[in-house]
Structure 1
Amino acid sequence: MIQLIIGVLLLIAFAGLVYYAFKGGNLMMGMLVMAIIWATLSIVGFMIIKDPAFLAANKAQVETSLPDHLKAVFQSGPEGWGPTLVNFIFGAWFGRVMLKTGIASKIIKLTVELGGDKPVITSILLSIVTVLVFTSMFGAGAVVAIGVIVFPILLSLGIPKKTALVSFMLSVGAGLYINPVIFSQYKMFFLDSQGRETVSYDGTYLKWGFAAMAIQLVVAIIFTIIFSRKKRQVHAWASPIPQNTTAEANRVPGIALITPVVPVVLAIGLKVPVILGFLIAGFFALAVCGYMRTWKGTAEVFNKTFYDGVIDTAPLMGFMLIIPMFNAASNLAVPYFQALLGGVIPNSTLIIAIAFAVLAPLGLFRGPFTLAGAGAATLGILKSLSFTNNFLFALMYAPTVTMNISSCITQSWIVWGINYTKVETNDYLKSSAVTGWIITAILSMLTFFIYG
């Protein structure tokens, strides 16, 4: 009986987090409070419950001392995120190198020249290039830096503002499905009780990830084609490509254009560690673009790009150091969810996949279907059932990347895009929510066919 009461209290706390996230509360504080509440309730339960069946089923946790429980949640949890933190920093540095050298600007400039005077073709080509760029770059700084180049081009060609904005953000998100650093960020939700990884970047994930990237890109292209057929209005912009980025792009040699895909190719094709891949690609870019002529100059640009990259990702790093605490606390809560919901939530992968397809908009506004919000609590509940981690990862990753990162107005770079293009928030959300819902529904069923 006590385990059922604790299970109800855990669900009430979960509902509180969902409400808090919907209201736009600070997620770092919200997840910290949830970790404390869930850990406290779970540990107290292990101490006071006397039910023989419960004690036998959870013998290891019951026999663990209080200090060890606290260490597992509040010390070992954040410490276990160390490798991902390092990947984040080097990935951010690589992104800054791409911007510093002008490689990203050069790729976009060549894409526009290839598209000629056909606005829709140019828009489609820019979507493809954006996807490729964000398979290795990430972060608000990178999105803004690319956006200030892409948006003036699209708008000056007469692509409607809302169409340009939705298409660009979907393209950014599509690339992130293959981005090894973003993958490393969210795989931390799936560490086992000893802090070991349970999902890996290679193998079956890449099969699903490439399919997800392609599906989101195709939807972005279809959206562009459909909504660019209306009468286009050309917007007057000072310059299709900002002058400073044009100057940098003109100094970029052709060989440098392969840089964005180098880390991904090295990781997938040659099994090169992610950090080494970023270092190879980053210094290759600096060398061929003339930033390594002297030792002093090389050191200065390396320090500056490293510093800027860390600044770009600092807020996210703080949040992701709290997530392992909640992840460890959710592991402690599993026995109570099993007791309370074991006979309520179906164990059928098909039914769960259909539920995620139908309820995909719950990934908006940091809701219960996104790991960048209250979805961490949802995952804690689903972990108490018999689903595999590969299935759960793909199931939760789709609304996280598509509904949240690619479509939601709570995403920082989407807020920037809305302000930059002067699109009405509600007008943007009407389109982004529908396209995101379609993509997530397709990916939910794809998840069932691959992992179910």
Structure 2
Amino acid sequence: MSGPLLLLVFALFAALMFARAVPAIIAVPAMAVAVAALVGAPLPVILNDVVAAGAVKLAPAYVAVFAGAMLGRVMIQTRIAEEIIKRAAEYGGDRPMIVAAALMAVTAILFTSLTGLGAIIMVGSLVLPIMMSLGIPRKLAAVFFLMAFATGFVFNIALWRLYREILQIAPDAPLPPEVARFALGLCAITAAAVAIYAFIAARRAPELRFWAVTTKEEILARTEGKRRVPLVAFLTPFVPLVLYVGFGWRELPAFFAGALFGVLLTEPRAAVRTLSASAVRGVEDGAPAAILMIGIGMLLNALTLPAVKEALAPLVAAIPLRSPAAYVLFFGLLSPLALYRGPLNPFGVGIGVYSIMFATGALPPLALLAAIMSVVQVQNVCDPTNTQNVWVANYVGVRVEEITRATLPTMIIVCLIGLVLGAAMFL
């Protein structure tokens, strides 16, 4: 009987997060304690094994988030990111869709390394006004930005660290090459979908209007008279990715190498001051994600308690996920459940669902990873509870739900095609 009761606990906390009555950073650890208590775990087990041990279970993941956020701050303080965006806008001239395509490509590249709301605000504050000043409608500019963000975020190695810790995919070894191959395929699928969406949207866009308060020229003039960033410094966001994927470096040294590369090429005399300030600001930027990961670690430990696994195993086994067709249809058609911190959102209630699937062996770890990465593409672009969605919607002056309605069909298709690729590779 405890299996259905556990599902009711998940449903209760999902409803609380959906209604925004309880934030995820509170709901997830509370769910962990509730799950452990429901199966009769003794108080010392709850306090020591679930709460204390769970709080540090994902330490490598949130350290990677802090390191990635530090690199982001380095790129902000040294003006590397600003210069990259400026060059993209300059070379696009006054052709709106050419400029938009260039800025989307740059945004995708930047978010392979950047992490946190601070990076979203910095990049968005430059990219969105340029798009809108060229007549791209407000909502379309917001959609372009979020889709570009999600395209690059497929390769964000701080996020990969979280996935590897949750699913125990070679956590102490170099990244398995098949994971990189799947990520490359998912990135290509997303990029193709974004390009098709942009082409169709451009054909349907109303007359060009100059919505923005600032014009493109005013945005570009911000750096006039300032020292130019060396072109080689534009490689900074690629450094961690190359070291991580190509040379098997761990996340922390890879991010540190990228930060050092950027600082030494732009502000060598102020390197210590810049790195120190960036480290402090990086901790601030990464704190919300790290706090959520502390709760996720607690929930992971709660769900691996023998009594919990025993109660949930029959329920999970009833879903024939090892069939490629069932795998694609289950995660693809239910991918909207990743919205509102729902049961397929790995940063909400979904962490419980995925953890149960992993703990009970419902799917091979790499197949489960492919499912999570595919579903996260829906969540990254469409979820109205995302901080990036809320900020972007407020910035351009549209309701956040409008972005969800405009992007959800496209991102479900991306998810389905990604799942087909995952099934072909891992099932």
TM-score between both structures, scaled by the size of structure 1: 0.87
**Aligned-partner Cα distance in 2 for 1:198–1:9:** 36
Aligned residues: 420
Amino acid at match of 1:317: A
Contact 2:389 2:400 in 1 (8 A): no
Is the partner of 2:304 in helix, strand or coil?
helix
Q: Deviation of residue 189 (structure 1)?
A: 2.4
Letter of the aligned partner of 1:122 in structure 2? V
Per the TM alignment, residue 313 of structure 1 is displaced from its structure 2 partner at its CA by 1.2
Say whether residues 1:16 and 2:18 are aligned partners: no
CA distance in 2, matches of 1:316, 1:174: 20
Alpha-carbon contact 2:239-2:258 (below 8 Å) kept:
yes
Q: How does 1:409-424 map to 2 (within 5 A)?
A: 409-424=384-399
SS at match of 2:346: coil
Determine which of 159, 172, 181 is the counterpart of 1:207.
181
For residue 37 of structure 1, what is the aligned residue in structure 2?
A: 34
Contact 1:127 1:217 in 2 (8 A): no
Matched, 1:321 2:318: no
- Root-mean-square deviation (CA, aligned residues, Å) is 2.3
User: 236-245 vs 248-257, which deviates more?
Assistant: 236-245
Q: What aligned pairs does 1:255-266 form with structure 2 within 5 A after superposition?
A: 255-266=232-243
- Where in structure 2 are the equivalents of 1:304-383 lying within 5 Å? 304-332=277-305, 333-343=308-318, 347-383=322-358
How far has the Cα of 1:10 moved from its partner? 0.8
CA offset digits 1:298-355 (Å, max 9, x no partner)? 3322221111111111122111111111011112222111234534555424302211
Q: Percent identity?
A: 28
CA distance in structure 1 between the aligned counterparts of 2:40 and 2:276, rounded to whole angstroms: 45
Q: Name which of 283, 303, 321 aligns with 2:276.
A: 303
**Normalization by structure 2: what TM-score?**
0.92
Given that 2:317 and 2:362 are in contact with CA atoms closer than 8 Å, whether structure 1 keeps it comes out as: no
Matched with 1:57 is none
Q: Which residue of 2 aligns with 1:58?
A: none
Are 1:227 and 2:224 counterparts?
no
> What corresponds to 1:77 in structure 2?
54
Which residue identity lines up with residue 268 of structure 2 in the other structure?
A: M
1:397-436 CA distance string (max 9 Å, x none) = 2222x22222211111211111111123333221122222
- Match among 107, 118, 129 for residue 106 of structure 2: 129
- Paired residues of 2:384 and 2:401 also in contact (CA < 8 A): no
CA contact (8 A) 1:101 1:248 kept: no
Aligned in 2, Cα 1:288/1:359: closer, same or farther, shift over 3 Å? same
Counterpart residue type for residue 35 of structure 1: A
Greater radius of gyration (CA): 1
Runs of at least 5 residues in structure 1 that lack an aligned partner in the other structure: 45-64
Aligned equivalent of 2:192, options 205, 208, 218: 218
1:163 aligns with 2:137: no
How many angstroms apart in 2 are the aligned matches of 1:116 and 1:366?
Answer: 40
In structure 2, distance between residues paired with 1:43 and 1:248: 67
3-state DSSP class of the match of 1:80? coil
Moved more, 223-232 or 262-271: 223-232
**1:103 and 1:249 in contact (8 A); partners too:** no
- Mapped to 1, the partners of 2:221 and 2:91 lie a distance apart of 21
C-alpha separation in 2, matches of 1:249 and 1:174: 31
Displacement of 1:170: 1.0
**C-alpha distance after superposition, 1:333-392 (max 9, x if no partner):** 221112345345554243022111112211111111110111112213423243111111
Shift of 1:191: 3.9
- Aligned residue type for 2:35: W
CA contact (8 A) 1:349 1:387 kept: no
1:33-69, CA deviations, whole angstroms, 9 ceiling, x for partnerless residues?
211121223345xxxxxxxxxxxxxxxxxxxx97467
Match of 2:223 in 1: 246
* Residue 88 (structure 1) aligns with: 65
Q: After TM superposition, give the deviation of residue 245 of structure 1 in Å.
A: 5.1
